[in-house]
């Protein structure tokens, strides 16, 4: 059992100057699952979740910057910079960065999304000080050398090529462009060959300086950790690099905004000589802060979240038209997406689209029967808990929650929100989301006649 607590402890120096402010955000029994946050002078926030029963710890730093913060000319800069922070600092070479974590059997990586970037290391609890030192050094002391930029440019271009060679992955980038057009959310996180080739050392360095200020960063650690010790080690690392910033700086809050999607009913087809046609049919969803997201989660699970879901049963099990078929949601600060993916033989595209559209229309009109609702609630509840069974997942949860919502929610609270979803809640969300005119993206070797018929699927 975890409860909310809003206790605050303000630490001051001998001169009476504020040094840090600590809050207990979630209080677990006997300290297990307790989440604390300390805000350091300069706006850097440090969060921990304590789990004394494990022997590992995951340490991460979240930057409040993603590909939607890029201008068209800077397309791919966030992801490019993610690569470059592994290439060396004033204290370590690229080899020394990777060797330090490899030598203790840990793992280190990073990922870039449309609205945030995260760098993390997972190690034994006794090696947490090393992970903190290495990751903080990377974030605060990157050299961004011209030679490294040129060497890594080739790596990033190969990653773009690898994505282009995987149509099952590429179709989701295509669908983002279909829905959002030539806007930051519609452009690929990796950038394009042209934009990556156009990035210079000066443009990347300016991007780094602007977006990696302490007010834009959140530190998160989970596992067998002690909050005060983590705070001290993080503070020491940032002070050593001269990166704590101005004492009066205020942390940047969660994103807000109201950017509209482009009109529904768009169809984009990319002709590729592939064995399968890859399809995404979808429509605008809801922002990640929308209170109806719990009902949307249940609806998504029932439609395409598992082997018993409607789409899996209708498309794969009953008719054998696809190997992979599923639905998904993506929530951003001010908008969202709902999509259905399927990979099938090009000759089966019409049949697959008709089945998917029929099921979406049916649920939009009638909602879910009680049996499917109960199964979806149980499945979503179980997957939520099982997905938090390692320290990496716990670190992701507290870091992303602070970044995206500005608050922490206990597992019991999340399960309560899921269990509270009613048939009427699902029916309302299904009507509002699935009742919209969809858009469609397809990658595959379609004939001209097939391509022309695709507009019927979104009519």
Q: Tokens 């449309």 identify what position?
A: 114
The CA–CA distances, whole Å, from 361 to 80, 347, 366, 372, 455 equal: 41, 23, 9, 16, 16
E strand or H helix that includes residue 204: helix 201-211
Give the β-pairing of 336-344 and 324-331: antiparallel
In terms of C-beta distances under 8 Å and separation of at least 24 residues, what long-range contacts does 308-314 make, across chains too?
308/375, 308/379, 310/359, 310/363, 310/372, 311/340, 311/342, 311/355, 311/356, 311/359, 314/355, 314/359
CB 76 within 8 A of CB 191: yes
**Which residues share a beta bridge with 282?**
339, 439
CA dist., res. 188 & res. 160, Å (int): 10
Query: Residues with Cβ < 8 Å from 237, sequence gap 6 or more?
Result: 132, 133, 136, 137, 140
- The answer to whether the Cα torsion of 184, 286, 284, 173 is positive or negative is positive
Q: Which of 49, 70, 82, 402 is catalytic?
A: 82
Q: What share of the chain is helix, strand, coil (3-state, %, to 5)?
A: 45, 20, 30
**Which residues share a beta bridge with 36?**
24, 48
Q: Is 371 a catalytic residue?
A: no
For 167, the 3-state DSSP assignment is helix
CB 165 within 8 A of CB 278: no
77-84 helix and 201-211 helix, angle to the nearest 10 degrees: 90
CB 304 within 8 A of CB 311: yes
CA dist., res. 98 & res. 8, Å (int): 38
Q: Tokens 């029963």 identify what position?
A: 53
Q: Tokens 């009742």 identify what position?
A: 435
Q: Tokens 């490019």 identify what position?
A: 80
Active site members: 82
């Amino acid at each position: 059992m975890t409860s909310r607590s809003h206790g605050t402890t303000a630490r001051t120096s001998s001169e009476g100057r504020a040094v840090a402010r600590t809050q207990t955000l979630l209080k677990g029994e006997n300290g297990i699952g307790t989440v604390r946050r300390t805000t350091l002078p300069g706006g850097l926030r440090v969060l921990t979740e304590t789990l004394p029963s494990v022997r590992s710890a995951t340490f991460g730093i979240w930057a409040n910057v993603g590909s939607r913060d890029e201008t068209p000319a800077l397309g791919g800069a966030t992801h490019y910079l993610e690569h470059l922070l592994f290439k060396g600092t004033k204290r370590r070479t690229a080899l020394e960065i990777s060797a330090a974590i490899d030598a203790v059997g840990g793992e280190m990586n990073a990922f870039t999304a449309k609205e945030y970037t995260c760098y993390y290391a997972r190690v034994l609890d006794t090696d947490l000080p090393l992970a903190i030192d290495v990751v903080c050094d990377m974030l605060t002391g990157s050299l961004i050398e011209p030679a490294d930029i040129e060497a890594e440019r080739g790596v990033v271009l190969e990653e773009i090529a690898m994505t282009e060679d995987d149509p099952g992955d590429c179709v989701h980038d295509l669908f983002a462009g279909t829905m959002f057009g030539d806007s930051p959310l519609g452009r690929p996180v990796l950038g394009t060959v042209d934009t990556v080739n156009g990035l210079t050392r000066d443009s990347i360095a300016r991007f780094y300086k602007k977006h990696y200020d302490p007010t834009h960063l959140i530190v998160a650690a989970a596992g067998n950790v002690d909050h005060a010790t983590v705070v001290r080690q993080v503070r020491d690392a940032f002070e050593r690099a001269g990166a704590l910033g101005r004492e009066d700086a205020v942390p940047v809050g969660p994103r807000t905004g109201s950017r509209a999607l482009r009109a529904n009913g768009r169809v984009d087809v990319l002709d590729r000589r592939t064995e399968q046609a890859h399809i995404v049919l979808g429509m605008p969803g809801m922002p990640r802060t929308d209170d109806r997201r719990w009902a949307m989660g249940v609806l998504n699970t029932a439609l395409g979240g598992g082997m018993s879901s409607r789409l899996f049963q209708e498309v794969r099990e009953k008719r054998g038209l696809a190997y992979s078929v599923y639905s998904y949601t993506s929530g951003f600060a001010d908008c969202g997406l709902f999509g259905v993916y399927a990979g099938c033989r090009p000759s089966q595209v019409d049949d697959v689209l008709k089945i998917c559209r029929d099921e979406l229309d049916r649920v939009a009109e009638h909602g879910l029967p009680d049996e499917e609702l109960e199964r979806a609630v149980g499945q979503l509840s179980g997957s939520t808990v099982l997905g938090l069974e390692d320290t990496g997942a716990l670190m992701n949860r507290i870091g992303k929650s602070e970044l995206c919502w500005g608050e922490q929610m206990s597992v019991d609270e999340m399960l309560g929100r899921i269990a509270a979803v009613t048939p009427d809640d699902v029916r309302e969300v299904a009507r509002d989301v699935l009742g919209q005119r969809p858009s469609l993206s397809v990658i595959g070797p379609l004939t001209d006649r097939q391509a022309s018929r695709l507009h019927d699927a979104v009519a």
